[in-house]
Structure 1
Amino acid sequence: MDEPVVYKRCGCSAQDRACPDLADEGHGSWYFSIQVLGPNGRKGRVRRGGFHSAEHAMHAARELAAADVLGAVSAACTMAQWLRHWLTTLQPIRERTRQGYADHVRIHLIPGLGRILLAELGPVDLRRFFAGLAQRRNRYGKVLSPSTVQRVHATLRAALNEAIREGLIDTNPARRLRLPRTRRPHAQVWTRSRQATGQRPAVAVWTTEHLTEFLDYVRADTLYPLWWLAALRGLRRGELAGLRWADISLETRELTVVQQLIHINGQLRVVPPKSEASQRTIALDTEAVRLLRRHQQRQHLQGLDTAGWVFTRADGQPIRPDYLTYRFRYLVAASGLPPVRLHDLRHGAASTALAAHVDLRTVQGQLGHASIVLTSDTYTSVLPELHHEAAEATARLVLTTARRTGHRLRKRTLQLQRRPSNRPPR
């Protein structure tokens, strides 16, 4: 095994490891790089950072190297041995889930817990590990989010549950571990007052005016039909990248989501949609049909296969989903509009549909959610115009009722005044 390499970097500029300020003690953090056995038994290079000193980085690297030993799994095996075995024996699961498990094992769990024996792993070890994980920084220099820590915990629980089923341990020490609760960020609309603060929400949504400006700006872009579908129909980037002409009927104005493209281990792979509910048929508006028809004619003139992928590179090969993210980010920055993520267009698609008075159940089917609660809680950030419509509707109801009630009260008062009194005069 190679000797670990320790180095310092900051990430504050394009120079990074060549930054002249790295000589300052408080600038940047320490990293290590080492070759270890991967989940498939092959060697791969692991890099970890965020350490306060070169000594801490070297110590962590040598701990990882010491745990990097293959052996038969038993109650006496190390966590590194068990986690690798667990990854190789997983039941069929989604590729994205498998990759997430493998990343958590390689980046976090083996470096942090790999040397501990499976049978001796206890709550104290886990509290210490997750306390350190909550302070660790990612490759961009940001502290790991609570949701990332929760996902690493979920991976560990799954691995230890399997060890129980194998009869290697009796209880799962990660089961009762308490971690900071995470809150799903609520999507916020880029109103003028929010733009003036200069603070970007975790999940941001354009107003209808913003969306109109963006679509007008990208009208000449070759992927304009894709941006239209993402913004108005709420397709995921993998669904858009995996779309084939066979999945679209321009005559009936329908699009069927039956697959998606993902980029994993350096390769593009066709996989089923995210969930069973994600396999859905989406109605297309007239403008979408017109844009897709022109896009198909353009492909035909370029000599591309108009029976294959809908959105392609210049050579006719499918587009990587992450390229769509980069391209969208570039176009948003160039347009001068408030920043949003590509996935945030799903939020916007739901909100825009609600603003157009589409019922929630229809929006649920459009987005491909199994639960209408998920649609309501996550993707239906209410646009400002809906707030104003609700306020006006409420006021109209109250004022109308008040006028009607006031008329009845005045009429009753006049009747009482005109009615002769039976009281004797004083």
Structure 2
Amino acid sequence: MNQANELPIDQDVTPPSPELVRQALQSVVSSVAFQASPRLQQFLTYVVEETIAGRGAQIRGKAIAVEVYGRSIDGTGGRNLVRVEARRLRRLLHEFYQDQGNGEEVRIFVDPGGYRPRFSQERTTGDDNSKIQSRDAFAGHPRLLQLLTGGLGCLVLIAGIGFWFAQDNEVVLPTTRSKEQAERVALGKQSLTRLQAANLADQARGMFFPVFDVKRQQIALGMFKHATELDPTLSDGYAGSAQVLATLAMLSPDNAQRDDLFSQASEMSGRALDLSPTDAWANGANGWVLATQNKPVEAMKYARLSVELAPNDGHILDLVGITAIMAGAPDLAAEVSDPERSRSGSGRFGARNIWGVSQLMLGNYEKVVEAFKGAPAAGAPVSAPSLLFQAVAHDQLGHTEEAQRLVTEMRKTWPEFPSEFLAGRVFHNDDETRQATLDTLSRY
């Protein structure tokens, strides 16, 4: 089998479609090796989707460090990490195609020296069934790239995911299946379109953190809406849309826009509950919508119910955790984000950061510093609020120099981040923490 840099380059060959590329991507990231490496799943998904969207030539290690690993754009640490992870990615891709990749119609390669992926299509053509491969499939096709980079379609395409490969109408999975994989098999037997919608929604909910990254939320919203278009009877797309719309409403400084977003969020959460009244995600999303609308008592009812329905689902626990923070219930936030608590699922979890905020609200400032300080090493999201909450804890502990450094770094890295505005929204039901945050911002 040819290795990544040994494939022939054929000219004037029709490039694989975005759908086929996404099928190939799903086949890779759902393999056993990649399931054990959620960050490499995100790495590969990011570079593939950027290439499909026509931005392959602009992929840089700095962007991957920020978008995938949540690292600061300053210094070389993030880019060094990306180089190390890229080597791991190339190795796992090579092993995948050696061990499991026979028969894959489209293959993905990330050649040494860069991060832009290359798509190789192998298909049967002519009377002698000869094989043709195409390299750098989207290069030299400006009209295709132009079509892929317009309007809301771009949001849908940026991080979408295609069908799992099927054979004889059955989804191919490793012999040993997790509960999640078994559920996907069942969905695939029922409807491949339904399976595609479920996969898309699941991929998008892994993008929910950092919560206050508006660009990321807008991308996720496009994916959730596409999931509802693929299968209007599946509650996941509506639940995901509800949680993102509520988040965008909370972050909006415009009253009219905020009211409109809240109205849409309520409509989406209502549809999710109508379709699946006992679904943990539908209930959790509705709790989050109510919390952002400052209805803490009602929000907590749905939040607690969603934990009962899915006590180990990492994404549900995260959603409940931020709902509890907004509702002024730090004890529940601490309970669901406890570092010792078992959680299932793949993708980016925000539990460590939620734990840190819960400890800030409870006045355990040493634990706050410990939680946020270890976040990057643990692969937890890093964002402006991460630095802000650390600064507040250090200020309360009397560590003025460190508080000053963190506030300065936050304002330098995220100069547009509305810190004071956000503090008022997040801690609407916790006057003490809100005031401590505002005092720290004012003092430094």
TM-score by length of 2: 0.24
The two structures have a TM-score, normalised by structure 1, of 0.25
Q: Which is richer in helix?
A: 2
- Mark the structure with the bigger radius of gyration: 1
